[in-house]
Amino acid sequence: MSEIAHFINGQIVNGNSSRRQDVFNPATGNADKTVILAGENDVDDAVRAAKEAWPEWSKTPVLRRARILDKFKNILWERLNQLAEVISSEHGKTIDDAIGEVTRGLEVVEFATAAPTLMKGEFSENVGSDVDSHMIRQSLGVCVGITPFNFPAMVPMWMFPVAIVTGNCFVLKPSERDPSASILIAEWLKEAGLPDGVFNVIQGDKIAVDRLISHQDVKAISFVGSTPIANYIYTTGTAKGKRVQALGGAKNHMVIMPDADLEMATNALMGAAYGSAGERCMAVSVAVPVTEAVADALVQRLVPKIKELKIGPATDTSSEMGPLVTAQHLEKVAGYIDAGESEGADVVVDGRNFKQDKQGYENGFFIGGTLLDNVKENMSCYREEIFGPVLSVVRKNSYQEALDLIHGHEYANGTAIFTRDGDIARNFMQDVEVGMVGVNVPIPVPMAFHSFGGWKSSIFGDHAMHGMEGVRFYTRIKTTTTRWPTGLRQNPEFKMPTLG
């Protein structure tokens, strides 16, 4: 059984901890690997390596930093399938989905290679008599990324490319459920020419997280995960004077108006609700058809498509949906379906009945696609983030009722509307209180040169991820005002200086 360790100061290291945790292949249900869980001393070693590398790295010309990332980008393109296979073996998502994940992460790397432009400052001549002023962006120091299991490559790449290209050093704490991708990334960064200590990986659980967010040498923390943990990391980190961007949970609604292309909306819902087994923070988990007629027609179209979903391991290229990440998560998702049924929702398609009959995969963590109809706002299957292939249909009679439904939820990560009416679409874009909006686009994940982030309980902190928001988060501005002697002597001034 192979063992996954840490990457500190350019080397694979086991560290000092004796704690281990199994890493499962979700498709087979077998524990094929173990991961070392760091102790506080291991975290200290990683932070120390980053801190010691920072003075030189921060003064490395930004163009040189960008060129290293460009080499890393080319390595990723060449080995995309290798990384995708590792992701699939530990997360369970299909190979095509894993390739898509890596590709979206690569877009942030491509964005970060533009750092010579992104880091440009400002200069103003003669802000006063013989006085000039200029602003520059400088790095923070040691930055930390704490990332979830559902995107073991993409979410780290939302963070570290922008962080390191702007002159920071980075410590990544990936999910202990699928940790191997982080080590490949670290090794490939070193191969691209990244100096030792600039990028480090600590495997671990809450012990590692707590040490990272309290460490006096950590200047900034990026997090993606559930809302309770996002809130904990934000409140703990900011109380200790750190910058924190913490992205939390989601309950994404898709409104289907009476004039929508229903076949287009149905196909969009299938991918958005059941892709990656629903383990996406941007998955659409609530369909909001407007009028009973649209709801009936939508459900009628969805049912056969859900029943025909090809559910299987990533090794089967015909699979459209893989297993859930762990047995515990499978039990949790099934529990939400149980609760929805007991609270009065109609279980139109029941994923609990699915049995995997492919040889060798009978014990995998598989569940079928589920459709719940006539879901009400007070039901736990609506209020809470399920993070599984469960689509709830909440019927509404008007556009305003649909909008009010979205506004009544604590999460405000992403949303979408399907309509042919430009007036309705424009009103929705302006009125809806959600961070990311799609019009006839079911999963409106912004491109890397824009920024990713929701509103309300879906985010804690003032900065979204990647794009210019990412550059602002990982840098601080310094403004310098200069005057050079001109041969004229000045008398002391004791009032507030004015330069105009």
| Residue found by looking up tokens 């993606």 in the block | 224
Give the whole-angstrom CA distance, residue 432 versus residue 416: 10
Count of Cβ atoms closer than 10 Å to residue 439 Cβ: 15
Give the whole-angstrom CA distance, residue 449 versus residue 111: 6
Secondary structure of residue 64 in the 3-state scheme: helix
| Residue found by looking up tokens 């299991």 in the block | 149
Helix and strand tally (H, E) in the chain?
A: 16, 23
Q: Compute CA distances 37 → 1, 11, 175, whole Å.
A: 16, 17, 11
Contact 34, 3 (CB under 8 A): yes
Contact 243, 253 (CB under 8 A): no
Of 143, 169, 281, 381, which one is the catalytic site residue? Answer: 281
Total residues found in the chain within this entry: 500
Give the whole-angstrom CA distance, residue 26 versus residue 46: 30
- R_g of the chain, CA atoms, integer Å: 25
Query: Is 169 designated active site?
Result: no
Contact 51, 196 (CB under 8 A): no
Residues designated as active site: 281
